[in-house]
Amino acid sequence: MTKRNRIIYWVATLWLALGMLSTGVAQLVNAKEGQGGVDMITHEGYPVYLLPLLGICKILGVVAVLIPGFRLVKEWAYAGFFFIMSGAIFSHIASGDSISSILPALLLLVLTMVSWYFRPESRKHSFVNQ
């Protein structure tokens, strides 16, 4: 892995981790307090009980992506991030939200794909000969 690719990987991964961790914690806190996250998720047409589930999944995904080893778990975490962010983008579009409300989810989706694409060999799972 070249130095350039390593830098791209770590910058994208750290920004992804920060974004997912902050939104995950916010979803856990807002689910208990009944504030901002509740308004957004109900506006999108989802039940409030999804907030803590999304928050926990994001936090566990960040742990899986950052710790060494557990290559298969990393693949699942990246897939989960991809599906959560794709769903968020689609939900915003379907609800008629503005572009500015779609951009955070779009940024996290792009960071997910960049981090996954540039991950080093030591963090890749080989699906061949399994």
Please check whether residue 82 is in contact with residue 112, taking contact to mean a CB–CB distance below 8 angstroms: yes
Sign, CA dihedral 91-87-28-9, equals negative
CB atoms inside a 10 Å sphere around CB 67? 10
What would the pLDDT profile of 96-114 be if each residue is shown by its tens digit? 999 999 999 999 999 999 9
The token pair at 119 is 């991950």
The pTM score is 0.89
Q: What is the pLDDT of residue 31?
A: 65
pLDDT digits (tens, 9 = 90+) for 51-95: 999 999 999 999 999 999 899 999 999 999 999 999 999 999 999
Sequence spans of domains, the chain: 3-116
Q: What is the mean pLDDT of the chain?
A: 90
